[in-house]
Amino acid sequence: MTLLANIPKQGDFASTAALNSDLAFKGKYAYAGNYNGFVIYDISKPSKPTIVSQVLCPGSQNDISISGNLLFLSTDSSRSDNSCQSVAKPVTDPTAWEGIKIFDISDPANPQYVKAVETDCGSHTHTLVPGKGVDRNSVYVYVSSYLLGDTSVGADCKYPFDQITIIKVPTKNPTGAAVVAEPVLFPDGGNPGGGSTTYPTTGCHDLTVYPDKDLMAGACMGDGALFDVSNPAKPKLIDVVRDTVNFAFWHSASFNNKANKIVFTDELGGGGAATCNPTIGPNRGANAIYDIVGHGKKAELKFRSYYKISRANADTENCVAHNGSLIPVKGKDIMVQAWYQGGISVWDFTNSRKPYEIGFFERGPLSDTQMITGGSWSAYYYNGYIYSNDIQKGLDVLQIRDKRTDPARWIKLKELNVQTQPNYFD
């Protein structure tokens, strides 16, 4: 794996507190979230990316996705209002605002703020579900949010909370975006949690849909779940799994291309701790690979193995399983994945029981004396290259050359939101 280019954080996004977050892609552009807003990069020459525009719009995490000329931004911090000039406000104040912001990016050099939709508990992450049939000119936004201790309890965000918010957006009239459903995903209340190891399910952290298969994988704090989303406004739970021994916080999920496997990640320590060391071991803060056995309503998730990077990181390096995507190689299940300061790992899980690493890239600790939150937040494969939004270092562009991954270079997409998983081959 070779680092081809790096663009450091700049201007309003340069400070250590301005954390880089998620990525999305459209054509020759990469869209990068940051706790202070978002950046648009021209990646037409991947070895020489350039900044097209920066939009200052504070509101963590500012996770990001794209649909046509619309950009969606998650706000998961209590703000004074829904503008990009808002300031922090106590979550207990009933007038505080959190939710989804929508921008028009038809001119990437000059994005325009279009609409905001307030949601209960804000929007930690979100997932786009394209409409079908009579809804083909709409996109549904699944808003993931959750309660994490009493500090997140507000006027419209209280226990119990195990729902998602669904926003319907008419793509030709985005000002008409509105909440259309707030389904409870776990009618039994979800995992109640236990001791100091497993979080209770009080919402979902991340949802990944596979529209071609009408499926959704949910990483929901104390639960990993499989859903039917054939009706986008009414997701239905198919199966749920728990791991009270090794998994603390179900963080994100990825299907393989055949949709007969799911990789779940465990964000042990919340992304701010050193968990890639011998003390924690190989099964905690790791990935868990599950096979999907059976079909339709009778499908079940069956655990097969864990995967974690084998390199021991320093005690000053935050390191745990985080966001990744498939590298599209027909007949193989290969992922690239961010591990914060553990770097970027490319690994193969074609054999669910025997995953192994193909290659990796890492910089080493930001500091030898203190913990500074940093490293790769999201590492995604797009049109022949790996793009990583490094929390402190900025945008990285990498290339992997290996006979096992080289066939992926011929796969080209017009748009990529990793949480709306494309079907590469069927």
Tell me, what's the pLDDT at 195? 61
- At 310-330, the pLDDT tens digits run 999 999 999 999 999 999 999
- At 60-89, the pLDDT tens digits run 999 999 999 999 999 999 999 999 999 999
SS3 (DSSP) at 53: strand
**Can you tell me which residue has the tokens 């059976």?**
294
Average pLDDT, the chain: 95
Residues in the chain: 426
Q: What is the DSSP letter of 35?
A: T
SS3 (DSSP) at 343: coil
Q: Are 115 and 55 in contact (CB under 8 A)?
A: no
Q: Which tokens hold the place of 393? A: 């270092």
Q: Where are the beta strands (DSSP E) in 107-188?
A: 112-118, 125-130, 138-144, 165-170, 178-181
Q: Are 309 and 320 in contact (CB under 8 A)?
A: no
Instruction: For residues 387 and 406, give the distance between their C-alpha atoms in angstroms, rounded to a whole number.
Output: 16
Q: Which tokens hold the place of 185? A: 């995903």
Instruction: Tell me the whole-structure pTM to 2 decimals.
Output: 0.97
Structural domains of the chain in order of their starting residue, each with its CATH number: 2-416 (2.130.10.10)
Kindly indicate the confidence band of residue 147, based on its pLDDT and cuts at 50, 70 and 90. Answer: confident
Q: Which tokens hold the place of 293? A: 């056995």
Q: Report the pLDDT averaged over residues 328-346.
A: 98
